[in-house]
Amino acid sequence: MDVVLVSFYYDKNFYCGANKRFDETGKFLKKNGYRLKVAVPKGHVPNWCDDDEAVEFDTTSPGPLRRIELFLKFQAWLKRIPKSIVISDFMPAKFPLISRKWQARQWRKSGKMLTVSSFTRQQLNRFCGIASEDVVVSHNGIDAAYLKQRTDGERTVDFLYVAHFEQRKNHPMLIRGLIELKKRGTQARTVLMGKDHGTLGEVRKLITENGLEDWVEIEGGSFSEEELIAMYLNSKVFVTPAKYEGFGMPIIEAMASGCRICCSDIEVFHEVAGKKALYFDPDDPMDIAEKLNRSRQQNADRAGLRTLVENAFTWDHTLQPIREQIEKFSKQA
């Protein structure tokens, strides 16, 4: 039975956790000998995909409607091919009320669902009525390059945050935490890496108005995996004040690189980092400042951080549930 791997969010030129997962899942399936079809937007066939595996879909619709059109074309294509196992990340999130009912209906037709965390499994159960036993958790993993680096070098960046500038990533509250640190006479070199998805202007304004220009650097362009690894290795603490995440891939990348973790006290981050992180209230600048200061002063258990990642978050380990489910479906077919 063929396996169809589909993403209408995939961009082969864009660096993010979702694209990494798509790439690693495809390479994992190929390595394990599955017959694969890879469905992506036109012009974005991954470099690991063979010509006879690629299925490209084009659209002329603008904005969120683009993904809706792609999905409808994909559905029509599915009806023309033999019965297959479909792994998809499609979610028309710009229409939350419509998409919730639409997708819940589709998902209930599926034998099993795959998601990246126990937290998102609970969300699917709560908001879409998907039975928890029908949702298989397959965590995100980490590139082997992270586990080959030495972590004992000198570090000149106090705090690093890797996230696109969008509302749920909560950058302004992190800046307010840094303002509180400044009031206490403590200034720390902070680097923010990510593209602007709507909140960068507010962040820059807060930095300028509070005299943090010499302490907060923004890397807003594109960057390579090698550049990101180098930044992790040069940072003492990885911080994320995000208020909502499905997983939080930068946390495991930072742990593998020997960074201490200081993050929002939200359920999914406890699932990923456990006792290896220091948690704060993402709506409280005073608490953020206190935990940032404490985390900067702590000694990093770099060996323990890397061991946690090696034992739980390599791609070969985290993608095994996908392989197990494919084998079950193949035997039932």
Classified by CATH at the fold level, domain 3-141+314-332 comes out as Rossmann fold (3.40.50)
Q: Quick one: CA dihedral 321, 322, 324, 329, positive or negative? A: positive
- The confidence score (pLDDT) of residue 63 equals 75
User: Of the segments 75-84, 110-119, 167-176, which one has the largest average pLDDT value?
Assistant: 167-176
Angle between helices 96-107 and 118-128 (to 10 degrees): 100
pLDDT tens digit string along 30-59?
Answer: 999 999 999 999 999 999 999 999 999 998
Average pLDDT of every residue of the chain = 89
> Do the beta carbons of residue 23 and residue 46 sit within 8 Å?
yes
- The confidence score (pLDDT) of residue 34 equals 93
- The confidence score (pLDDT) of residue 98 equals 56
- Residue in the structure block whose two tokens are 């082997």: 144
Cα–Cα dist 266/245, whole Å: 9
Tell me the mean pLDDT in the region 17-25: 91
Amino acid identity for residue 34 in this structure: Y
> Do the beta carbons of residue 24 and residue 56 sit within 8 Å?
no
Estimate to the nearest angstrom the gap between the alpha carbon of 222 and the chain centroid.
16
> Do the beta carbons of residue 203 and residue 225 sit within 8 Å?
no
CATH 3.40.50.2000 in the chain: give the residue spans: 3-141+314-332, 144-312
Classified by CATH at the fold level, domain 144-312 comes out as Rossmann fold (3.40.50)
Output phi, psi for 37, to 5 deg.
Answer: -120, 135
pLDDT bucket at 93, cuts 50 / 70 / 90:
very low
- The confidence score (pLDDT) of residue 104 equals 64
Tell me the mean pLDDT in the region 153-175: 96
* 99 has pLDDT over 70: no
pLDDT bucket at 135, cuts 50 / 70 / 90:
confident
* 311 has pLDDT over 90: yes
Cα–Cα dist 255/258, whole Å: 5
* 97 has pLDDT over 80: no
Instruction: Give counts: helices (H), strands (E), the chain.
Output: 13, 12
Amino acid identity for residue 91 in this structure: M
Residue 282: closest CA among 295, 294, 292: 292
